[in-house]
Structure 1
Amino acid sequence: MPPALPETTDAAPDQPRLPHLSVTQCVHYTLTCDPDVALLGLSTPSEQDAAFAAALAFTTPLDAAQMAAIRQEAMAAVAAKGPCWWNPTHC
């Protein structure tokens, strides 16, 4: 049996209870990496609104500490969830 997933105890009823990254964190992290292309989940109008708002709010690349903090949160978000199919050598 896989280990239990850690829950966020202070989550509001309409918010995710498991560790997760915000759309803004993901978009700002990606834009700081200065990609030529970024693939985003834009399946619904609300996903589009969130991603476009995050992109418009991006004015300055994140610093090294902010990037490291997001990487730590990402590791917590994927912990105990099985193999990372998108990046198997780094998870």
Structure 2
Amino acid sequence: MSLSTGGHTDVVDITGAVADCVRHSAITDGTVTLFVIGHLKSMGPSLIVPVAKGKLTLGTWQQIVLIDFDTRSRNRQIAVTIMGL
């Protein structure tokens, strides 16, 4: 998955894009692992989200966001790996 960010602590909600990846896969129960290469703050470069019945298992107010701490706009590549049954 790729997206453009504005830098300067730009926050991009990628929940819908990740949900689309899960929907287009044949996986109904498993996990989604997201990884982005870059200079990262303490939040870390990766995230694992459970998948149940073909949907992301997130709480009511939870979302998946990419926060760009760079000083300029960038095109970011996010590796999305979906594993399960």
- TM, length-normalised to structure 2: 0.29
Hey, which of these two has a bigger chunk of strand by percent?
A: 2
Q: Which has the higher contact order (CA 8 A, sep 6+)?
A: 2
With normalisation by structure 1, the TM-score equals 0.27
More helix by share: 1
| Structure with bigger gyration radius | 1
